[in-house]
Amino acid sequence: MERRSFLTATLATSALALAGKAEAQTQAASTTSSGREYYLLRRYAMQSGPQTGITEKYFADALIPALTRMRLSPVGAFRVEFGPETPVNYLLIPGSAAQVLAELDLHLAGDADFLKAAAPFWNATAAAPPYERVQSDLMIAFAGWPKLTPSASAATKGKRIFQLRTYESPSDGDHVRKVEMFHSGEFDIFLKAGFHPVFFGDTLIGSRMPNLTYMLSFADQAELESCWNAFRDAPAWKKLSSDPHFASDQIVTNITNLILSPLNCSQV
């Protein structure tokens, strides 16, 4: 019990020391409109049952309001509908300063309103944990797509689904070539095929590196399939993908493809 109290006090002290710096960083970052954003992508693995409700309530009532106060928005909150493991939730947090995202939990620990709202999740015991594990990836936006772009239906909470795709490369050089491929015409092919890209991120810290992750938004599954058919049939894509410099069997060794639906609290 004494150890827990000591750790809590230490965390709170660190958080208070960082609070002023975090506010200054976020205010300074908000004045920069041309820079590339950073993204913190968190994956919450859970068991079926109470964990899903506790976690979603934590997002809606505590975490997203606190992030909004920190000017880290719009925040995306999603559940996996089709993927290798469920239940899993994802949280997408944008920011203009990588350090603020990296130190996020320390900043949150200094927010009294957050701690009050987050108590059932934040203070859960080993006997009733709110999740199995949390995995975090820190990314920087592609130069050619520097800002997160929510779909138009996000503002009205309209029906929409998302595709989250991660491309793993066999080497750093091959990874750089895959990123280059997006900047060599792939963005335009996506747009002309009817896609609504949300973000493109180059992973700086995370698992299974080197890799990149991007997200696309659709009205429904039919639009998703229609867009991909148009993409594959596009003459510009056939030309780009036939370039030996961008041969996919050399620069991408694994693709993870998930279909997500937004939680009610999602701002994306």
CATH of the domain at 246: 3.30.70.100
Domain endpoint, select from 114, 138, 162: 138
Question: Are 124 and 74 contained in the same domain?
Answer: yes
Distance CA 213, CA 141 (A): 10
Q: Are residues 127 and 151 in the same domain?
A: no
Tokens, residue 266: 């999602």
Confidence class for position 33, pLDDT limits 50, 70, 90: very low
Burial 76-87 (b: 16+ CB within 10 A, else e): bbbbbeeeeeeb
Where in the sequence is the domain holding 104, given as residue range(s)? 2-138
The reported pTM is 0.85
Is residue 128 scored above 70 in pLDDT? yes
Number of domains in the chain: 2
Residues with Cβ within 8 Å of residue 32, at least 6 apart in sequence: 96
84 lies in the same domain as 209: no
Shared domain check, 7 and 115: yes
Query: When comparing pLDDT for 131 and 32, which is higher?
Result: 131
Comparing 230 with 155, the larger pLDDT belongs to 230
Domain boundary among 138, 158, 182: 138
User: Is position 207 within any domain?
Assistant: yes
> Contact at 8 Å (CB) between 39 and 93?
yes
Structure tokens at 252: 């991408």
Q: Which amino acid is at 30?
A: S
Percent of the chain whose predicted confidence (pLDDT) is above 90: 81
pLDDT at 189 over 70: yes
Is the same domain home to 148 and 134?
no
Residue 267 domain flag = no
Q: Is residue 152 part of a domain?
A: yes
User: pLDDT tens digit string along 78-121?
Assistant: 999 988 888 999 999 999 999 999 999 999 999 999 999 999 99
Q: Which residues contact 239 (CB under 8 A, 6 or more apart)?
A: none
**Helical spans, DSSP H, in the chain:** 2-30, 50-58, 64-69, 98-102, 104-108, 112-122, 172-181, 187-192, 221-233, 235-241, 248-251
What is the per-residue pLDDT for 34?
56
Residue the block writes with tokens 């493991």: 85
- pLDDT tens track for 15-25: 444 444 444 44
Give domain status of residue 98, yes or no.
yes
Q: Are residues 77 and 97 in the same domain?
A: yes
Residue 30 reports pLDDT greater than 70 = no
Give the per-residue pLDDT at 19. Answer: 44
Domain boundary (107, 138, 169) is at 138
